[in-house]
Amino acid sequence: MLNRIEKLSLLSEMIAFAKTDELISFKYSFLLSVSQQLNISRSDFEYLIENPIVYKNLESYSERIVQFYRLVLLMNLDNKRLQKDDNLVFNYGLRMGLSHDCTNKVLYLMDGFPNNMVPSDVLIDIFKVQYN
């Protein structure tokens, strides 16, 4: 279970990622729904948009995979996949302690799925291989 600081950190990280392509207004509703899933109030969410907090790495490997998947989903919301987005998501994955090979494989396989959206079961299988 994530604590409040971890939740705020995750959300802040996603907001920062959304701001990189200056389309935060387009991705706002997705980010708001993530904040609701994390039980973060709308006022706290709004505060994070203007006041990011320092990233805190998650202890749980499965939570890191879930966060990586959220970033992949966020990256694909506008259907404009850019190399810089791939690089950012890849670097976020590495910073979270995820496998270099697994993050590369997810980004590579995205092209084979509709809307570049890797199904969650495929994503889990990719990371299971590394974990075993």
Residues 6+ apart with CB under 8 A from 15: 24, 31, 48, 49, 52
Domain boundaries along the sequence of the chain: 4-131
pLDDT of residue 105: 92
Q: What is the mean pLDDT of residues 89-94?
A: 88
Global confidence as pTM: 0.75
pLDDT of residue 61: 86
DSSP of 65-105: HHHHHHHHHHHTTTS---HHHHHHHHHHHHHTT--HHHHHH
Q: Which residue has the higher pLDDT, 80 or 127?
A: 127
Tokens of 56: 């805190």
Q: What is the percent of the chain with per-residue pLDDT over 70, rounded to a whole number? A: 89
What does the pLDDT look like over 34-59, one tens digit per residue? 999 989 999 999 999 899 988 777 88
Helices (H), 20-76: 24-37, 42-50, 61-75
State the DSSP code for 117.
-
pLDDT of residue 77: 74
